[in-house]
């Protein structure tokens, strides 16, 4: 199977939401889970029956909706929005039940213990069970329509996402014929269809997240899944125009400065230093954004820095609205 087709400049920024299966990745600390939760919130608000999948069982995806943790079975956490947490052993039992007609397997069974040994010894086994379950959800139908309009996956971070998405292809290469080959074939067909599946990267306007995002883009060229969108999270606003900066500098001169200090009965220097810092931070981050855009030719969407202490339902909705506005919806 060939690598995913190149990005077309004619693709709309909102085309990501036309895909049934979206994997969201990013360097740890960039807000990957925040964006995944916000995309789920946005899709559900548009009337799409949406499934959020948390790959890391230690994650906190439901915290973004102020909801208790969920298990392997999809659970509705708000209208049109469902969430599930991946578990490879549950995924194996479901696979054996559906595809091999073996019935439910006890967690204490010999087969379960054998699986634990193989999964820890053979690279790609846990990944294939994760990707297989997600791909299977994308095939489910209710009547003549797909069960899920959109599946948003809070996937592995940039350091591990290639191994996760490449697992079906890697195992596929080991088997030319047989059941394993057949199973990985249908997974790859789903992952490689650019009208079904897409990858989104979340970065912040800083050196390391941008570097890792560019490196990941180069690696995705050999994957079945196509990179569709880059989200730049925590973008600082442009607080002052050039003219306003000049005014600030003029006010720091001795005469205006003394006048202002007399008026406020205190030093105004911290205010000016804060203004300078804000300008420096914004401009240094702009250079990272320019580098990112120049290196990755896909739609780049910006999410403003939210000056909040926690990430509950309100902040998730704010990020969702920022994405909606960026997509022109």
What pTM, to 2 d.p., does this model score? 0.85
The CA distance from 299 to 15, in Å, is 10
Whole-number pLDDT of residue 103 = 55
In the block, which residue shows the tokens 């230690």?
A: 58
Question: What is the number of other CB atoms lying within 10 angstroms of the CB of residue 265?
Answer: 6
- With a CB cutoff of 8 Å and minimum separation 6, the contacts of 257 are 251, 268, 269
CA distances from 217 to 140, 157, 257, 263, 290 (A): 30, 13, 50, 55, 16
Across the chain, which has 329 residues, the per-10-residue mean pLDDT values are 50 90 97 97 98 92 96 96 92 75 50 53 75 95 95 96 92 69 87 96 97 96 95 85 73 84 85 74 87 96 88 94 96
The CA distance from 120 to 127, in Å, is 11
* The CATH number, out of the four listed (3.40.50.300, 3.20.10.10, 3.40.50.720, 3.60.15.10), of the domain defined by the range 13-239+298-327: 3.40.50.300
Domain boundaries, the chain: 13-239+298-327
The CA distance from 296 to 230, in Å, is 8
Quick: pLDDT tens for 231-252: 999 998 876 666 776 777 778 7
CA 264 to chain CA centroid, Å, is 47
Quick: pLDDT tens for 62-95: 999 999 999 999 999 999 999 999 988 788 778 7
Whole-number pLDDT of residue 280 = 75
The CA distance from 126 to 167, in Å, is 9
């Amino acid at each position: 199977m060939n690598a995913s087709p190149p990005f077309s400049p004619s693709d709309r920024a909102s085309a990501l939401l036309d895909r049934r299966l979206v994997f969201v990745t990013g360097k740890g600390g960039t807000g990957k889970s925040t964006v995944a939760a916000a995309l789920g919130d946005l899709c559900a608000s548009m009337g799409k029956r949406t499934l959020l999948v948390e790959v890391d069982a230690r994650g906190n995806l439901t915290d973004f909706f102020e909801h208790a943790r969920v298990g392997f079975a999809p659970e509705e956490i708000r209208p049109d929005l469902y969430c599930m947490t991946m578990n490879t052993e549950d995924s194996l039992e479901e696979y054996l039940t559906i595809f091999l007609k073996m019935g439910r397997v006890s967690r204490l069974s010999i087969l379960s213990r054998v699986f634990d040994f193989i999964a820890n010894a053979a690279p790609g086994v846990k990944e294939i069970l994760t990707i297989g379950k997600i791909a299977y959800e994308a095939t489910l139908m209710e009547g003549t329509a797909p069960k899920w309009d959109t599946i948003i996956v809070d996937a592995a971070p940039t350091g591990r996402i290639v191994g996760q998405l490449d697992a079906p292809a890697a195992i596929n290469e080991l088997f030319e014929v047989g059941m394993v080959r057949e199973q990985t074939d249908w997974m790859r067909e789903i992952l490689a269809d650019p009208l079904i599946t897409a990858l989104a990267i979340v970065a912040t306007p800083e050196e390391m997240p941008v570097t890792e995002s560019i490196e990941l883009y180069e690696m995705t060229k050999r994957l079945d899944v196509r990179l569709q969108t880059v989200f730049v999270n925590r973008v600082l606003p442009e607080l002052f125009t050039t003219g306003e900066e000049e005014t600030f500098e003029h006010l720091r001169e001795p005469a205006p400065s003394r006048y202002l200090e007399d008026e406020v009965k205190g030093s105004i220097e911290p205010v000016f230093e804060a203004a300078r810092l804000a300008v420096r931070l914004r401009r240094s981050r702009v250079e990272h954004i320019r580098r990112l855009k120049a290196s990755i030719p896909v739609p780049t969407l910006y999410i403003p820095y939210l000056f909040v202490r926690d990430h509950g339902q309100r902040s998730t909705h704010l990020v969702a609205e920022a994405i909606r506005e960026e997509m022109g919806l």
